[in-house]
Amino acid sequence: MRGTTEFARLRLLAGVLLSVLVAAPSAAFAEDSNAKATATMSDAFQGLGVESSDPIQFEAESLEVRESDSMAIFSGNVIARQNKTVLKSQKLTVYYQGQMGQGAQKVSRIHATGNVLVTSGPQTASGNEAVFDTIGRTITVTGNVVLTQGQNVIRGPKLVIDIATSQATMAGGRVQMLIEPKSLESSGKTN
């Protein structure tokens, strides 16, 4: 009976960490053979064309536009900004819909590779690669993923954020979490 109570407390603690990390008012924790952690997200990572009509500012060492492929490739110390969301990477490929000079163009997908870092307010997500899918309304970060808020940290191989449902899932292998106890007190969640 004692082991069951401790396991329930661990599940609750993991859920609280995810809610603290993604600044969500509520969180749920699910466990399966792939060590999957799930929580609801705040609006913090909904930038970069996924859920906003605000302009995206791009900076890089070089730019290659492939009009026939409807893509633009930014290389070298790339920085993309939209509202409070900032993405940094070594290479960024922007896929768009519509032709230049023929009405509005819309970003359909952004693919970032090489030391990817996304910051939005107090939250950061980093990994080897990230895909912002504006049509599917998802953000996927893969390869040594680290999600932080303050001193709270969660690590895993793959982070998927569903913008439509505000659901965030860390999956694909072993998930590690570090919780700063004082952050639980400030969020009003204690146990």
End-to-end Cα separation, the chain, in angstroms: 18
Q: If you ran DSSP here, which 8-state letter would residue 124 be given?
A: E
Residue 139 tokens read as 């953000």
Secondary structure class of 39 (helix, strand, coil): strand
Report which of 164, 175, 131 is spatially closest to residue 41, judged by C-alpha positions. 164
67's CB contacts (< 8 A; 6+ apart) are 99, 100
Asked whether the beta carbons of 72 and 65 are under 8 A apart, the reply is yes
Q: What is the pLDDT along the chain (191 residues), one digit of tens a residue?
A: 444 333 333 333 333 333 333 332 222 233 333 445 554 444 444 444 454 678 889 999 999 999 889 999 999 999 999 888 899 999 999 998 876 667 677 888 999 999 999 998 888 899 999 999 988 989 899 999 999 888 899 999 999 988 888 788 898 999 999 988 877 665 554 44
Q: CA-based angle 92:170:59, to the nearest 5?
A: 15
Residue 184 tokens read as 């639980």
Q: Given the structure tokens 């932080």, which residue do they identify? A: 148
> Span 2-186: which CATH code?
2.60.450.10
pTM above 0.75, yes or no: no
